[in-house]
Amino acid sequence: MASEYLKWKYKDVKPREKVELSPTEKRKNWWHYHKWHVLIGVVLAVIGGNLIYSALGIGQVRPDYRFAYVGASALPEDTAAALEAGLASLGEDVNGDGQVAVSLRQYPLYSADPQTAMAAQIQLMADLTEGESCFFLLEDPERFQRDYHSLCRLDGSLPEDENPSAEGTYWLWDQCPALAGLDLGSYRYSALGETVSGDNRELVSGLAVARRGFWTEKDAAYPDGCAALWEKLTEGAVS
């Protein structure tokens, strides 16, 4: 009954003729229904590409040597950049990427700001645990060695006593001719509306230069290259 009624009701309705879309209209129609799928796919591809890019280090400069500065406050950016360039000039391309690069990490461990000091301590512990930094620039080498027992002696041996002193584990910057002779230029930055400037050499001349003790050779990245750089840094050093 219902079927006959529907036939009668729509007896004059003609089927819609199939419309042939132009190529442009077809593309617009496809985009209308699929644009979100495409956009989501692009976003996921970009995220995945960035992850792979970072993981493989594509296009990134890999440091041949890693230095860590430990002090009360971070060095100015100009000073850090000058140190990286100056120290790189004394090194060699140990990782085979065609260039010599130094990475300087800064740990304001003795900052008067508790949060800054705590963050620096966490980052430094991660550095020491992973054996990332091979060389250290230290404001207070005695305190550092007392707290972390991480420096080796000047001859490369490891301190044997439980509470080792930093004595015999470092040279001062100005005691090393190769370091004292570096042209580090000057620094300049703004603080509290004022411009602060000075000589980079004055900031680093009192720092202690030391290297980390590695308990096994596999703990160190490019151990031969780091040993060669240490020899160059400290050649002719006198107390």
Q: Give 94-124 pLDDT, tens digit per residue.
A: 999 999 999 999 999 999 999 999 999 999 9
What is the pTM assigned to this prediction? 0.73
Q: How many folded domains does the chain comprise?
A: 2
Tell me, yes or no, whether 4 lies in a domain: no
Residue 101 tokens read as 């690069």
Q: Which residue has the higher pLDDT, 185 or 213?
A: 185
- What is the average pLDDT across 121-130? 92
Tell me, yes or no, whether 8 lies in a domain: no
pLDDT, position 108: 96
| CA–CA distance, 37 with 124 (Å, rounded to integer) | 44
pLDDT, position 52: 63
Average of per-residue pLDDT values in the chain? 84
Tell me, yes or no, whether 3 lies in a domain: no
Tell me, yes or no, whether 170 lies in a domain: yes
Tell me, yes or no, whether 163 lies in a domain: yes
Nearest CA to 154 among 230, 205, 239, 221? 230
pLDDT, position 48: 65
138 and 228 co-located in one domain:
yes
81 and 51 co-located in one domain:
no
50 and 119 co-located in one domain:
no
pLDDT, position 178: 97
109 and 56 co-located in one domain:
no
86 and 21 co-located in one domain:
no
92 and 203 co-located in one domain:
yes
Distances (CA, A) of 189 to 4, 28, 77: 90, 54, 8
Nearest CA to 87 among 140, 134, 151? 134
Give the whole-number percent of the chain exceeding pLDDT 90: 54
Residue with tokens 């005691």: 175
Q: Which residue has the higher pLDDT, 78 or 31?
A: 78
Q: Which of 60, 89, 114 is the last residue of a domain?
A: 60
CATH (domain of 185): 3.40.190
Angle at 194 between CA 188 and CA 199, to 5 degrees: 25
On whether the CB atoms of residues 220 and 226 are closer than 8 A, the answer is: yes
Tell me, yes or no, whether 9 lies in a domain: no
62 phi/psi in degrees, rounded to 5:
-90, 125
Find the domain containing 182 and state its range: 65-234
43 and 143 co-located in one domain:
no
pLDDT, position 129: 87
